[in-house]
Structure 1
Amino acid sequence: MPEKQKFIWLFFSVSGRVGRAAFFLGGLLVAVVQAFPLYRFLLSPEGSPESVMWSMLALIAFIASLWSNIALAVKRLHDLDKPGLAALILFVPVISLVVFLVLCLFPGQPGPNRYGRYPDSPA
């Protein structure tokens, strides 16, 4: 699979499985994409056209990255042989941090499962 397709699969598809390292690093990239426009917004003068632009970019980055967070979590849950619908628990404020840590720390199911043959590949 070409690199561009792997990137699109990792962040935008919910099929297949993803391992701990790819989940963590993908989540880190999504967090950076969310944080950079917010950082630039905080540096810009209040009420300036620049601050308006960065606030809009921060909102767009946040909305666009929501799907990527969901897709990563669904594939990580698939690696643990759990249904992807459980990814919705990531929207519960305090519990989401615990679930994120669990998804980062617990190893996936060895060998094939009902969601795919191997981690880090589409189903």
Structure 2
Amino acid sequence: MSPVDAIKSVLSQYAGFGGRARRSEYWWFFLFTLILGIVAGILDGALGTDIGSDPSSTGVIGIIVSLALLLPGLAVAVRRLHDTDRSGWWLLIGLVPLVGGIVLLVFFVKDGTRGGNRYGADPKEAPQAAAPSMA
């Protein structure tokens, strides 16, 4: 899956928590979010829209970008957990300091289950082309 296709896929399923997401889809969107956050921080600094005097504070543009990408980020994380045959509720383990983040990282890096699972078909399997009918 190309980076552009992965990002388009996540944004087209903006709040779609059902189904499964491949590793590439999740990580390309993660990288996109990271780069967009850096760009927003640079713009906030250049335009003087920082909130507070602390250099690490988030500005107005950063807050807008973060809020805009929050829901698709949660949705793709849940779909990624679904690909490893886990419930989206596993995201809550991230609230446990240190250990939770490590556990989620392992889940997100792990290959998805082969074939279909309770959350849908394997996203790595190419859709079967319809066989020509012999009429």
Is TM (by shorter chain) over 0.5? yes
Structure 1 residue runs of 5 or longer lacking an equivalent are 45-49
Read off the aligned partner of 1:74 and give its amino acid letter: V
Once the two structures are TM-superposed, the CA of residue 5 in structure 1 deviates from its matched residue by: 7.4
- Considering fraction of residues, name the structure with more helix: 1
1:89 to 89, 93, 111: 93
Give the structure 2 partner of residue 47 of structure 1: none
- Conserved in 2, the CA contact under 8 Å of 1:33 and 1:61? yes
Q: Distance in 1 between matches of 2:124 and 2:66?
A: 24
Q: Tell whether 2:21 aligns with 1:24.
A: no
Q: Distance in 2 between matches of 1:95 and 1:30?
A: 23
Give the structure 2 partner of residue 116 of structure 1: 120
Read off the aligned partner of 1:52 and give its amino acid letter: T
1:51 to 45, 48, 51: 48
Q: Quick one: higher RCO (CA 8 Å, sep 6+), 1 or 2?
A: 1
What is the percent sequence identity of the aligned residues?
27
Taking structure 2 as the reference length, the TM-score comes to: 0.68
Tell me how large the CA RMSD over aligned residues is.
2.7
Q: Distance in 2 between matches of 1:12 and 1:75?
A: 11
Q: Distance in 2 between matches of 1:117 and 1:78?
A: 11
- Conserved in 2, the CA contact under 8 Å of 1:16 and 1:120? no
Q: Distance in 1 between matches of 2:60 and 2:96?
A: 25
